[in-house]
Each structure stands twice: as C-alpha cells, then as structure tokens.
C-alpha cells in the first residue's frame, strides 16, 4: 500500500508542477482523495452516469456547456515511469486491429468453405419406408392417366370413356379426365368393373419386328400380338399384379423390319418420340440395281415430306457382300417423318428391296435377336435411348 501511495504521489507531483502540461478543466464526480502530505493530492475523475430521460437537463453539465469529456489513460512509459495520456496505448490499438483482421479472415474462410461445400447425397430409404410413403403420401394422378396405366385403354380412349359417363369415382360419375385420383385409396369403376388398386409395373421391351406386321393396336397381324405368350404367363410370373397394356413407341410401316420399342410407360414414350429428343435412327436399305455417286448426292440433298424439307444426317454405301448381289445403303435420319427413308430413296431414282431399322439413339438392335422376338431393356439400354429421369425397377418376368 505504501508503495502504491508513493507512486501516485510521484505522478501527482509531476503533473501538478510541470509547466508544459496543461489540463482542460472538466466536471468531476465524487472525488477519491489520497492524502500523502499536507500539500499533495491526486484526483481520478470518472465518466458521468447517464441520466433518466424524464430528468431535467443540468445547466452545469459538460454536455450542455460544450466542453469535451476527458478520459485519462495511465500507462507506463519507456522509462518505466507512469504517465497520463488522453488516447489509448499503442499496444492496445494494435491488438484491437489484429483481432478485427483475424475475425474478417475467419469469416471469409467460412464463406468460401460454404460455397465449395458439396451437397450430401440423397439418403437411401428402406423398402418399408418407401412403401409407407407410397401408401400415405404419394401424389394423386389424373384419372385418364390412371386408366391408361391400368390397361383399360389408351389415354385418348380413356378420356372418351370418361366423357361418356362410364367411369365412377367413389360412387359418383366423373366426366373430367383431369380429376386427381389415387387408385390405392379411391374406388374407381369402369363399365361396372372395379379398377385394381395396384397398378402394373413399368415394362420396357425391344422387338425385332418382322415384315407384314403393323404397329396399330387391335388390328390384324399387330405387333402387339407377338406378346400374347408373354402376357399369358404374366400371372404365373407376377401373381396378384395386373397385366400391363402394351403399345409401341413410334411406328414402322408394314414392309419395314427391325427395332421398335414396346412399353406401357406413356411418359417414357413421349420423351423419346418427341422431336425435342432429337434421337437419330439408323436404317439399312437394300437397293434394287446399282447405286451411283449421283444417287448418293440426291439422297443427301433431301426431299419435301408433308410440306417440310427433310435431309438425312448421313448416307453411306456399304461394301458389297459376297452372298448378296444387291447394294446396301446406311441412312441415318433424326426427324422420323412418315416413310421418310423410302421417300429419300425414291426421290434419288432408286427402288428399295427391303428396309430395316437397326438403331435408335445409342441403342442398337442385338444381332442375336431373331425376327418376332423381344428382349427386356435394362437401365443402360434406356439411358442409351435418352431416358435418364427414372430408374427401372425389377421388371416382371426377368
């Protein structure tokens, strides 16, 4: 205690008797006085406490008088002695600036890390969880789409059944094809027959179409008749599951053979058959007679079909085969208009003996797939066809 009083006395003496230091007079609050001798005293003044808003202004206060409040800093100088100054120590200012710079650097680092953070993969759910979601939270579908998926009829024919008042939903006749329904919850009748609650799974098939078959449903010698055995054995392979209503994706004329896709998924069919898909289709055309360079140029220049000028992506004369005397052309198109390849060849002055489609998009007809037989398409095959939005479940009969 005696040492502290002596230091304060020394500082007070240097401040009070040094002529070069002038102190601005300021208002003082309760004074702490340490009496070292009869002639020395050291004063410490604190900032005034804020007054309540309701109190009246004090005419003697420093704020009202325009005088600046003086807050002293007592620091130890380079000579080891205490001194009084009006600004914070340099060391304190340096530490504050360093801390502020470090905080800004950390914030910038966190922001950069947040931007570069890779989103976590979508968690995989168990079969029980997916089943519970499908039974309780799955979204409703349009009535016409549900009827088509259940195999009642095509989308357009299903809409006509609804317009004719032959469809009831939960006991009431429904005349709007866009009505949202859930076959798992709603009771749907078509022509007096109850629609099954469980819809058939999606089926994707590739068929090597033989000559003489048409692609329309319900006609004589329809390509869909080639799947009769497949559908007859459906119940044995998939007990309790409704049969799918199959249809072709696009068409091949009656005289053309080769690759055609058959499915019961309307979204898939619309996706790969729409012009925006821009899928190329490759054909092998067997030509009667010889093919000259002039014929190839004429085919590559294109022709007008249904008022639209169509040009092929490529035309190639294939090498002659020993067992085949006729010439063969490889023609690749992307528009897929009605009889497009036949019209291109006809415009060039040539006659087609036979025409076969061997590729759609990135999927090529397997060489071991015989005429009139089919195969189930896997996920890689569908991706080659441009279908990337859904994964194929374990298809029936596999």
Q: Which residues are part of the catalytic machinery?
A: 253
User: What's the rounded Cα separation, in Å, for the pair 361 and 385?
Assistant: 5
User: What's the rounded Cα separation, in Å, for the pair 142 and 162?
Assistant: 12
Q: Alpha helices, DSSP H only, in the chain?
A: 2-17, 62-65, 90-116, 127-136, 143-149, 155-163, 228-232, 234-237, 266-273, 293-301, 340-347, 379-384
Contact between residue 129 and residue 123 where contact means Cβ atoms under 8 Å apart? no
Contact between residue 216 and residue 263 where contact means Cβ atoms under 8 Å apart? no
User: What's the rounded Cα separation, in Å, for the pair 184 and 198?
Assistant: 7
Q: Report the DSSP beta bridge partners of residue 353.
A: none
Nearest CA-CA partner of 396 in 218, 224, 251, 199: 199
Give the DSSP per-residue string, 213-229.
Answer: -BSSTTSTTBGGGGGHH
SS (HEC) of 237-300: HCCCCCCCCCEEECCCCCCEEEEEEEECCHHHHHHHHCHHHCCCEEEEEEEECCCCHHHHHHHH
């Amino acid at each position: 205690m005696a040492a502290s009083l002596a230091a304060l006395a020394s500082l007070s003496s240097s401040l009070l008797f040094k002529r070069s230091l002038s102190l601005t007079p300021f208002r003082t609050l309760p004074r702490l006085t340490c009496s070292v001798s009869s002639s020395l005293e050291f004063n410490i003044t604190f900032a005034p406490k804020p007054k309540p808003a309701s109190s009246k202004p004090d005419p003697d206060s420093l704020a009202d008088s325009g005088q600046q409040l003086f807050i002293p800093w007592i620091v130890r100088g380079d000579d080891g002695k205490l001194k009084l100054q009006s600004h914070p120590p340099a060391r304190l200012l340096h530490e504050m600036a360093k801390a502020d710079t470090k905080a800004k650097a950390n914030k910038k680092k966190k922001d950069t890390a947040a931007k570069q953070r890779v989103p976590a993969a979508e968690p995989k759910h168990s079969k029980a969880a997916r089943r519970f979601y499908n039974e309780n939270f799955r979204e409703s579908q349009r009535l016409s789409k549900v009827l088509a998926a259940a195999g009642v009829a095509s989308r357009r024919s299903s809409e006509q059944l609804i317009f004719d008042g032959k469809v009831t939903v939960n006991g009431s006749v429904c005349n709007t094809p866009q009505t949202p329904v859930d076959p798992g919850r709603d009771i749907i009748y078509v022509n007096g027959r109850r629609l099954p609650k469980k819809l058939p799974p999606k089926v994707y098939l590739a068929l090597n179409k033989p000559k003489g078959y048409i692609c329309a449903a319900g006609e004589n010698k329809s390509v869909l008749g080639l799947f009769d055995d497949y559908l007859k054995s459906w119940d044995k392979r998939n007990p309790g599951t409704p049969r799918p209503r199959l249809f072709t994706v696009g068409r091949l004329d009656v005289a053309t053979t080769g690759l055609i896709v058959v499915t019961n998924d309307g979204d898939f069919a619309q996706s790969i058959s729409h012009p925006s898909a821009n899928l190329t289709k490759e054909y092998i055309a067997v030509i009667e007679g010889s093919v000259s360079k002039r014929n190839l140029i004429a085919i590559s220049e294109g022709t007008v079909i249904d008022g639209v000028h169509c040009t092929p992506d490529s035309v190639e004369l294939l090498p002659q085969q020993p067992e085949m005397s006729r010439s063969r052309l490889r023609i690749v198109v992307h528009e897929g208009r009605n009889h497009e390849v036949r019209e291109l060849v006809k415009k060039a002055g040539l006659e087609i003996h036979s025409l076969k489609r061997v590729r759609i998009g990135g999927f090529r007809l397997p060489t071991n797939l015989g005429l009139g037989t089919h195969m189930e398409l896997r996920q890689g095959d569908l991706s080659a066809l441009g279908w990337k939005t859904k994964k194929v479940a374990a298809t029936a009969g596999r």
